[in-house]
Structure 1
Amino acid sequence: MVRVKLWGSLRSLAGDREVLEVEARTLKEAIDAILEEVPALEPQIKRGISFSVDGLIYRDSWFVPIDEAKEIVMMPRMVGG
């Protein structure tokens, strides 16, 4: 199980949950498991999300390997300059 912290507005969409625990080996598997557990996150995920894995930001890099030893944070994608 990996622990995925939810950042900002994602928490309110997930019923004020701060952390989700899911079975996943990649960020894509984490997204799929999160959507299964919290379908209300789907509109935001479609708009765009980013992940921080041990402090490195990933956008559209869904096959990054993850495991329970990593700090994983899911956040709405930031836009702008």
Structure 2
Amino acid sequence: MSVNVRIPTILRTYTGGLAEVSAEGAVLSEVIADLDRNHPGIAARVLDESGKLRRFVNVYVNDDDVRFEGGLGAATPDGAGISIIPAVAGG
């Protein structure tokens, strides 16, 4: 399945400055692995040392928060839009 991944500014150094890239995968874990094959280092910024999504990184598939849709097992249908959004803290 081919999906479009929106890359936040802080991670664009891994994509050569591109704000959006395509990736392949039927589930989120496959998409992240494909991203890392094509843009080495990006997975380490999205996943923690145990291979889980980092606590302060939010990922959405077509506006659905993956934390409530199966996490790394969330389905990524063909043509889906995936957004990687670093959490913002402060007050």
Decide: shared fold, TM above 0.5: yes
TM range (shorter): 0.7 to 0.9
Q: For structure 2, which runs of at least 5 residues remain unmatched after alignment?
A: 49-53
Is the partner of 1:12 in helix, strand or coil? coil
Is the Cα–Cα contact under 8 Å of residues 4 and 79 in structure 2 kept in the other structure? no
**Residue aligning to 2:51:** none
Q: Is 1:56–2:64 an aligned residue pair?
A: yes
Q: TM-score, normalised by structure 2?
A: 0.70
Letter in 1 for 2:17: D
The percentage of counterpart residues that share the same residue type is: 20
Residues of 1 paired with 2:30 and 2:64: CA distance? 18
User: Counterpart of 1:20?
Assistant: 21
Larger radius of gyration: 2
Q: Secondary structure at the match of 1:72?
A: strand
Q: Amino acid of the residue matched to residue 45 of structure 2?
A: Q
Asked if 2 retains the 8 angstrom alpha-carbon contact of 1:50 and 1:75, the reply is yes
Question: 2:35, 2:43 within 8 Å by CA — same for their partners in 1?
Answer: no
